[in-house]
């Protein structure tokens, strides 16, 4: 089993302990259900209620009562355990855990560095690539720049516009 991030608590909503969650999964309706248990750095949270508002789930958790308790969860990443079969998916979606540690290479084989983490933005994800002796490279995880992902070889081949790595 592998722990996979499916959401992040954005902020509390109202005064009764409900929180708004930013979705980080390809199947939000399945991942956000009453009774689902989420791993967090501070322990497990069990969803009591789930409702949807403007495309985002709003959850209450067992034992989290009031706005102050909900505020303490701000920024908390919610994880679920997935089997290797669930993690494999259909081959077109990738979980952060699959990409972290892969070598990023240009089309000619020149190595750029290693994926250190994935930043999730409102429009697209960004690969944060650790490079030797310099600042990390920030590579948008978009079709126009990602040529190939080969999990077996441990590589992500990219086609970057001129000057991107100099930023």
CATH number at residue 67: 2.40.30.60
Instruction: Judge if 76 and 112 occupy the same domain.
Output: no
How many residues in the chain? 167
Q: How many domains does the chain have?
A: 2
pLDDT of residue 44: 97
Mean pLDDT of 159-167: 86
- The residue from 84, 110, 143 where one domain ends is 84
pLDDT tens digits, one per residue of 1-44: 778 889 999 999 999 999 999 988 878 888 999 999 999 998 99
The answer to whether the beta carbons of residues 139 and 105 sit under 8 Å apart is: no
Could you give the dihedral angle defined by the CA atoms of residues 88, 89, 90 and 95, in that order, rounded to the nearest 10 degrees? -80
Instruction: Judge if 64 and 111 occupy the same domain.
Output: no
Instruction: Confirm whether 166 is domain-assigned.
Output: no
Q: How confident is the model at residue 155 (pLDDT cuts 50, 70, 90)?
A: very high
Mean pLDDT of 36-54: 95
The answer to whether the beta carbons of residues 19 and 91 sit under 8 Å apart is: no
Instruction: Judge if 29 and 9 occupy the same domain.
Output: yes
Rounded-to-integer distance, Cα 163 and Cα 145, Å: 13
Among 153, 161, 154, which residue's Cα sits nearest to residue 137?
A: 161
pLDDT at residue 79 is higher than 70: yes
Q: Which domain holds residue 137?
A: 96-161
Instruction: Confirm whether 90 is domain-assigned.
Output: no
pLDDT tens digits, one per residue of 86-125: 766 555 678 888 899 999 999 888 999 999 998 877 778 8
pLDDT of residue 89: 58
Residue 137 sits in a domain of what CATH number? 2.30.30.240
Instruction: Confirm whether 55 is domain-assigned.
Output: yes
Instruction: Judge if 6 and 74 occupy the same domain.
Output: yes
Contacts of 144 (CB under 8 A, 6+ apart): 159
Instruction: Judge if 74 and 123 occupy the same domain.
Output: no
- The residue from 84, 105, 126 where one domain ends is 84
Instruction: Judge if 28 and 60 occupy the same domain.
Output: yes
């Amino acid at each position: 089993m592998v722990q996979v991030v499916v959401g992040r608590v954005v902020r509390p909503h109202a005064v009764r302990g409900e929180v708004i969650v930013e979705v980080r999964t390809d199947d939000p309706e399945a991942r956000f259900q009453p009774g689902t248990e989420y791993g967090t750095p501070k322990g497990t949270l069990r969803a009591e209620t789930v409702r949807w508002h403007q495309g985002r789930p709003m959850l209450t958790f067992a034992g989290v009562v009031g706005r102050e308790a909900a505020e303490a969860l701000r920024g908390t990443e919610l994880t679920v355990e997935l089997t290797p079969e669930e993690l494999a998916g259909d081959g077109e979606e990738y979980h952060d855990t699959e990409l972290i540690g892969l070598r990023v290479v240009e089309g000619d084989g020149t190595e750029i560095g290693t994926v250190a983490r994935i930043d999730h933005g409102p429009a697209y994800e960004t690969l944060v690539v650790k490079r030797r002796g310099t600042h990390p490279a920030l590579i948008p995880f978009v079709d126009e720049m990602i040529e190939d992902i080969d999990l077996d070889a441990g590589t992500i081949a990219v086609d970057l516009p001129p000057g991107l790595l100099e930023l």
